[in-house]
Structure 1
Amino acid sequence: MDFRILGPVEARRDGDWIALSGSKVHTVLAAMLLAHGRVVSDSRLGALLWGWDPPVTASAQIYTYMSRLRKLLGDEVEIVRRQPGYILRAPGARIDIVEFERLDRLGRAALRERRYADAQALLTEALGWWRGPALSNVTEFLLEAELPQLEEARMLALENRIEADLALGMHEQVTAELTGLVAEHPVRERLRAQLMTALYRCDRQADALQTYYEGRKVLVEQLGVDPGEALGATYQAVLGGELGLRGAGAARGRSDVPNMLPAAEGEFIGRSAELSLLTARLAAETNRPRRLLVTGMAGVGKTALAVRAAEESSGHFPDGLLFVELCHPDGTPKDAGEVLVRLLRALGETGLDQSPPRALDRDELVRLYRARTSGKRLLVVLDDAVGDLQVAPLLPASPQAAVLITSRARLARVAGADTVALAPLDDDESLAMLVAAAGEERLRDDPDAADDLVAYCGGLPLALAVVGARLAARPSWPASRLADRLADPAERLAELSFGDLDVRRALLPSVRRMAAEGPPALGALAGAGTEPFSARDASVRLAMSEDEAERVLESLVDSALLDLSGLDAQGLPLYRCHELVLLYAASLTPEDPAAVGPVTSARRFPAAHDSATAVG
């Protein structure tokens, strides 16, 4: 059971929302969650529900709300009458305010102990529990009583996280954020002092002084006070040139530290659990090599997640962030020498321009790379790896370094515990992604069309990005126009293309990398629909034994073209194909360039069925 109050008050069981209706029920639940297992008196509940003038039937109405909550929350939650009120017990439940307070406490301790990287990671995770203004669907009386202290706790956590960022030398990254925060909270002196520090370290001394003068004026005019000790001391430090980086964060300010991460594209939506797992593993202090894998089908958002995790973990890697794409745009693997040369140039190796990359000895390049990475705290992001052999020469020599890999395939070099398998986004996240690209008002005006667009994209971020980009480029189009164009399954993949974004082209390398039997097998499964099926079911379509069919299906799973969908009643694996992959499979023919392998192998399978009904 999950409870959330750092945003709208919500309850969730096994990932499904529990329908709580009305501000009064939300208020009662929030009040008991905020009590942290203590009794909430009837008088307290009455004041939070009705203010200073509760009705004469207040006790009876509170009893009704409690009964309704017991019914909705089920046996996992116990609401007990204990004089003079009620108490809520939910053993094993996850409550966002409890998680926030725990991580905030640990983050503050790390900051006091000058473990800045740990503090940054803990406080970032703590702030991640906030989904917007807290308690946004309760009564005004509860909001007035509890919101100020919750907001103050959030602001203190934010200031502490920025303190850790600055200690790690991330002044350039936080300057824009601090500028907005100071504008929003002009009398918070610590934020203003932090902005002055960041500006000074960005060689903007005049702007740092101007920030102080503006703050002094605001404090005098609004509060009638002069700047406090912290802000005054920062002002003096700017004048005296005393705000340079020291200690662990100093390396972040060096101009020779490489940062090859690509710029983020659009708003990062969803994936909070996966992001927390990756950042926690990257933050772990260990002398063993860290190798993390993000896997999933084409277009599911592997690169976006890896880049975001690398950005949020940058403070742990003061010697640099490396990023390389291991495949060309058409999906063919890049030469190892070409990739090593790019990495070595970023690490400061000279003399590599004298010979074409392919003419250099690969063993010598590997030796140089190992020497350059020895003892370094680096994060290396290897994007779109084909397999273990391609990755092996690119692993740094330092045990303090970490490697974050994205691949459509599972890699033997990465343990299952360090593998994050991405599933498609859920409907709410998909809609949020479309709203971020096309605007909320436009989709709100036609909710049916918005729902259709979400359904046609199947939760695939690449497809959603195409739809969002097309809507943004055609502001005069209603959402229903694009939904109508996507409604025909036979035309959907053609419509899911815009500029460099193309779902069909993204799926092509997955098919090309399969063994010869893969494409015809995929084509034969095109009519299976999106419901889970077993190897026995597939053996009929593939005209082969169940064992042979399972081997073929597992190869499709390894190519990220099939998903494992659980077990059947006999404990045997069930498989499921994404609807857009089905549409692609239905279009495969022996003449298709993706359908590698001899045509004779395709003849051993029945012709692909028309999947329009199954998918559309």
Structure 2
Amino acid sequence: MDFRILGPVEARRGGEWVALSGSKVHTVLAALLLARGRVVSDARLGTLLWGWDPPVTASAQIYTYISRLRKHLGEQVEIVRRQPGYVLRAPGARIDVVEFERLDRLGREALQDGRHVEAQALLTEALGWWRGSALSNVTEFLLEAELPQLEEARMFALENRIEADLALGRHEQVTAELTGLVAEFPVRERLRAQLMTALYRCGRQADALHTYYEGRKVLVDQLGVDPGEALGATYQAVLGGELGLAEAGVRGRHGAPAMLPAAEGELTGRDGELAALMARLGAPDGRPRRLLVTGMAGVGKTALAVRVAVDSAAHFPDGQLFAELCRPDGTAKDPGEVLVRLLRALGEPGLDGAGPVPDRDELVRLYRARTAGKRLLVVLDDAAGDLQVAPLMPAGPRCAVLITSRSRLARVTGADTVALAVLDDDDALAVLATAAGPDRLLADPDAADDLVAYCGGLPLALAVMGARLAARPHWPARRFADRMADPRTRLAELSFGDLDVRRALLPSVRRTTPQGRETLAALAGWGTEPFSAREAGTRLSLPEEEAERLLEALVDGSLLDLSGLDPRGLPLYRCHELVLLYAASPVAHDAPAVR
């Protein structure tokens, strides 16, 4: 079976289209496919079919639509009743959105590694699965719930494909395409920066500058914000004549690897941490520069590390390396796999996949030989632990390493560890205002304050809500606040495109021991007030010393915070409200542990 939702919702069996009629039937099928094997509740189906006012016969009508699907799809597809709803099982079926996401992921990895030819091919193939506007024959309610994140994923893949095209010197071929895209999406700064790059390389410097000035006016007029760093940096590069075509691969104009992803916009509320890390990287004192940024999931570790690395590039003329050490599901990558990518970026021959890959010890030897004596900055993102990081340490004191991890690492001293906390209310409000526009929040300051409170100062949660506000300019902020008010559905509301708070928290919980997860679940109903190990021991029916050991392990995994001292001088603990909501959800109990 073939299923398609990236266009009209359709099903095909053996090359023949399956006859399905009516937007309601297509909506039920699309909802089951988008659930990716999870149960879709009757309530969810009712909302997607009829909005907030389903008829009294909703259950009977849903059953009718399910029956029609079973009849038309045949024995290759099983739609099973699982309380409180239905789940679709179709072993071996091909679903276009799944294929798109797989190819997009591989394309992003290739782009990050500087394999631009491969990235361009993969991303072109991924975009080929789109046949127009997704979900074009479903109800308006499903369209409103699912289309924005699908379209955002499509645009991100398109921007990455154009990035690969530009790296391959295809600026003349993409200029017309980019001109049309910028006209259609005038506030997407990355597209505008890409158009400026293409125009400049085509010898049209004046047009590139005009594109910037036009974009700055649009951003100020429509959103009340100035251009972000990416667009501003491209403007400065045009003025300075620095947008010449780089050499192939991840290697820059001077042969140095340049693997850093693009830095995000302004890092609100992180001035002190940014300054401290910049000072440490910029002033070597003979000590090994091994810096760690730690904190809970979604607190902005990667964003800070990338900004520091980008701003410190002048101190590392031999290049900057970047590696993600964990997959999206939280499983740790093998250090050998990471070393192969880093060595490719450093120009090590024989690692193109044509021959056998050396064993890990040999890879470590090659890596240390390639990094010895060089002024390199190595950014290791989302490290799972010390054993994973050890083989990735470069040789020599001239190299620096910047690590992000949800856990404290023994090989990084406390003086070189920056622990990120959540943002205070003022900074959190500024993050929302940057994404949604200040006028939007000033129109209903009480709703804005509620949104800040519900996000708990977590930058990822604020980014999600800001993106949703920007994507729904016709919705008042109060509507979002009302939807966030129910703790039972709050985490579901904090998802947009590739941004998902619940998915970000999953690896942290999965990396804890079974006993630690049981402890977290037991604390889920406690609330956010600080508590001591003695109080936790009473609640868990454990001795105080055992309770303290479990709590400290959760602190090490950034699932608990320290919150002062009790009258005896012993630590008090506090759990973030979004972590509590996640700990109380079924998915936190069902996910298998990983290491």
**TM-score of the aligned structures, taking structure 2 as reference length:** 0.57
**Alignment-derived partner of residue 324 in structure 1:** 323
SS state at 1:420 partner: strand
2:394 paired residue number: 396
- In 1, are the aligned partners of 2:252 and 2:258 still within 8 Å (CA)? no
Q: Which residue of 2 aligns with 1:258?
A: 257
SS in 2 for 1:581: helix
Show structure 1 runs of 4+ deviating over 2 A.
Answer: 202-208, 252-255, 264-268, 285-288, 354-357, 588-591, 594-597
Letter in 1 for 2:471: A
Distance in structure 2 (CA, Å) of the matches to 1:448 and 1:280: 40
Query: Contact 1:374/1:396 (CA < 8 Å) preserved in 2?
Result: yes
Q: Do 2:375 and 2:399's aligned partners in 1 also have CA atoms closer than 8 Å?
A: yes
Q: Structure 1 residue 515: deviation in Å?
A: 1.2
Is 2:520 the partner of 1:522? yes
Q: Cα–Cα, structure 1 residues 454 and 397, in superposed 2: closer, same or farther, change >3 Å?
A: same
**1:278 corresponds to which letter in structure 2?**
L
SS of corresponding position for 1:403: strand
Distance in structure 1 (CA, Å) of the matches to 2:274 and 2:266: 14
Q: Aligned letter for 1:585? A: A
1:356–1:539 Cα change, 3 Å: farther
Taking the TM superposition and a 5 Å limit, the aligned residue runs for 1:212-611 are: 254-355=253-354, 359-588=357-586, 592-594=590-592
The one-character-per-residue Cα deviations of 1:143-192 (angstroms, maximum 9, x if unpaired) are xxxxxxxxxxxxxxxxxxxxxxxxxxxxxxxxxxxxxxxxxxxxxxxxxx
Question: What CA distance in whole angstroms lies between the structure 2 residues aligned with 1:360 and 1:490?
Answer: 50
The 3-state SS of whatever aligns with 1:584 is helix
When residues 416 and 596 of structure 1 are mapped into structure 2, their CA distance, relative to the original with a 3 A threshold, is closer
- 1:373 is aligned with what amino acid? T
Q: Which amino acid aligns with 1:306?
A: A
What is the CA–CA distance in structure 2 between the aligned matches of 1:349 and 1:595, rounded to whole Å?
36
Matched residue type, 2:540? L
Matched residue of 2:488: which SS?
helix
Deviations 1:238-258 (A, max 9, x none): xxxxx9xxxxxxxx9843111
Q: Give 2:42's aligned residue.
A: none
CA RMSD of aligned residues (A): 2.7
Aligned equivalents of 1:413, 1:281: Cα separation in 2: 17
Cα deviation, 1:538-593, whole Å, max 9, x if unaligned, reads 00121110000000000100110001111111100110100100111111478512
| Counterparts of 2:355 and 2:432, CA distance in 1 | 44
Using a 3 Å threshold, how does the CA distance of structure 1 residues 355 and 525 change in structure 2: closer, same or farther? farther
CA distance in 1 between partners of 2:557 and 2:354 (Å) = 36
Q: TM-score, normalised by structure 1?
A: 0.55
Deviation at 1:596, TM superposition (A): 8.1
Residues in 2 aligned to 1:595 and 1:340: alpha-carbon distance in whole angstroms: 25
Contact map agreement 2:317 2:375 (CA 8 A) in 1: yes
In 2, the alpha carbon distance for the partners of 1:498 and 1:293 equals 29
Counterparts of 1:268 and 1:433 in 2: how far apart (Å)? 9
- 8 Å contact from structure 2 (residues 323, 381) kept in 1: yes
Contact 1:286 1:400 in 2 (8 A): no
Structure 2 match to 1:33: none
Aligned equivalents of 1:519, 1:287: Cα separation in 2: 41
Structure 1 residues 340, 496: CA separation in 2 closer, same or farther (over 3 Å shift)? same
- Which amino acid is 1:276 matched to? A
Deviations 1:334-373 (A, max 9, x none): 111110011011111121013578x431111111100110
Give CA deviations for 1:194-234 in whole Å, capped at 9, x if unaligned: xxxxx9xx9999969x99xxxxxxxxxxxxxxxxxxxxxxx
Provide the rounded CA distance (Å) in 2 between the counterparts of 1:591 and 1:291.
35
Paired amino acid for 2:419: A
Q: CA deviation at 1:262?
A: 0.6
Q: Is the 8 A contact 1:568 1:574 kept in 2?
A: yes
Q: Distance in 2 between the 1:563 and 1:583 partners?
A: 16
CA shift for structure 1 position 465: 0.8
Local SS of the residue matching 1:404: strand
Query: For 1:519 and 1:356, how far apart are their aligned partners in 2?
Result: 43
Deviation readout 1:589-609 (Å, 9 max, x if unpaired): 785125789xxxxxxxxxxxx
3-state SS in 1 of match to 2:569: coil
Residue-by-residue CA offset, 1:507-561 (whole Å, 9 max, x unaligned): 1111111112011110001122111100000001211100000000001001100
The 5 Å alignment of 1:105-184 reads none
| Structure-2 separation of matches of 1:285 and 1:381 | 17
* Deviations 1:428-465, CA, capped at 9 Å, x for gaps: 11111111111111111110110000000000011001
Residues 498 and 407 from structure 1, CA distance in 2 versus in 1: closer, same or farther, beyond 3 angstroms? Answer: same
1:328 counterpart letter in structure 2: R
Where do 5+ consecutive residues of structure 1 fail to align? Answer: 1-198, 212-242, 244-251, 598-616
SS in 2 for 1:528: coil
Distance 1:500 1:382, change over 3 A: same
Larger radius of gyration: 1
Per the alignment, residue 212 of structure 2 pairs with none
Contact 2:513/2:593 (8 A) holds in 1:
no
Residue type matched to 1:408 in 2?
Answer: R
**Which amino acid in 2 is paired with 1:576?**
R
CA contact (8 A) 1:490 1:583 kept: yes
Cα distance change on mapping 1:330 and 1:596 into 2, 3 Å? closer
- For 2:407, the aligned partner's letter is A
- Cα distance in 2 for partners of 1:595, 1:253 equals 40
> Which residue identity is paired with 1:314?
A
Evaluate the alpha carbon distance shift between residue 567 and residue 361 of structure 1 in structure 2; reply closer, same or farther with a 3 A threshold.
Answer: same
- Report if aligned partners of 1:534, 1:573 keep a CA contact under 8 Å in 2: yes
Q: Which amino acid aligns with 1:353?
A: D
Q: 1:545 to 1:258 in 2, by over 3 A?
A: same
- Distance (whole Å) between structure 1 residues aligned to residue 506 and residue 579 of structure 2: 10
1:111 is matched with which residue?
Answer: none
Amino acid of the structure 2 residue aligned with 1:547:
E
Structure 2: distance between partners of 1:456 and 1:345: 44
- What is the Cα deviation at residue 288 of structure 1? 3.0
8 Å contact 1:520–1:595 — kept in the other structure?
no
2:422 match: secondary structure? coil
Distance 1:423 1:397 in 2: 32
* Counterpart-to-counterpart distance in 1, 2:292 and 2:319: 20
Percent identity reads 73
8 Å Cα contact 2:293/2:419 also seen in 1: yes
- Structure 1 distance, partners of 2:515, 2:395, is 38
Distance 2:412 2:252 in 1: 32
Aligned residues: 358
What runs of 5+ residues in structure 2 fail to find an aligned partner?
1-196, 210-241, 243-250
Secondary structure of the equivalent of 2:584? Answer: helix
Q: Deviations over 1:41-73 (max 9, x none)?
A: xxxxxxxxxxxxxxxxxxxxxxxxxxxxxxxxx
For the Cα contact (< 8 Å) 2:326–2:332, is it kept in 1?
A: yes
What does 1:7-22 align with in structure 2 at a 5 Å threshold?
none
